[in-house]
Amino acid sequence: MRIMGLDLGSKTVGVAVSDPLLITAQGLEIIRRKEENKLRQTLARIEELIQEYEVTQIVLGLPKNMNDTMGERAELSLEFQDKLARRTGLPVTMWDERLTTVAADKAMMEAGIRREHRKDYVDKIAAVFILQGYLDYRANCSCGSEGEKE
């Protein structure tokens, strides 16, 4: 059993997966597409990864505004959640992803990754932060395996 973490961007999806013990998140890849609303190949690739890693749950980043409101990006993420759940048959938990991209960028700066190369990794690292936040929450709450936080 593994959990997949996703960071939905306008033309990319960062993908991370947990270890089998649900303790740590590892970045897998960034799925790229030419247009924002062209999701067929993206969903197909996610399904391939679900099979390969025996994923039983998905955690999708929810990009709320800093004032806790939902903007256009959050609405697109909720639509993507619905598509993922229908297509995969898996539970898709929304996870507040505020500041994950900032944290990912900071981690890359601290690791010495040059600015021009950071865009090549930021979505995958953001997916790791999303999934790791969920795994940590899940391990520390008394909410069982379906602990949700939005």
Structure tokens at 29: 């890849």
Q: Look at residue 70 in the predicted model and tell me its pLDDT.
A: 79
Mean pLDDT, residues 70-86 taken together: 91
Is 127 within 8 Å of 27 (Cβ atoms)? yes
Structural domains in the chain, CATH included, are: 2-140 (3.30.420.140)
> pTM (2 decimals)?
0.83
Q: Look at residue 149 in the predicted model and tell me its pLDDT.
A: 43
Mean pLDDT, residues 34-60 taken together: 93
pLDDT over threshold 50, residue 91: yes
Q: Look at residue 150 in the predicted model and tell me its pLDDT.
A: 41
pLDDT over threshold 70, residue 59: yes
DSSP state of 122: H
> Which has the closest alpha carbon to 130: 106, 98, 107?
98
Confidence of residue 147 (pLDDT cuts 50, 70, 90): very low
Quote the percentage of the chain above a pLDDT of 70.
81
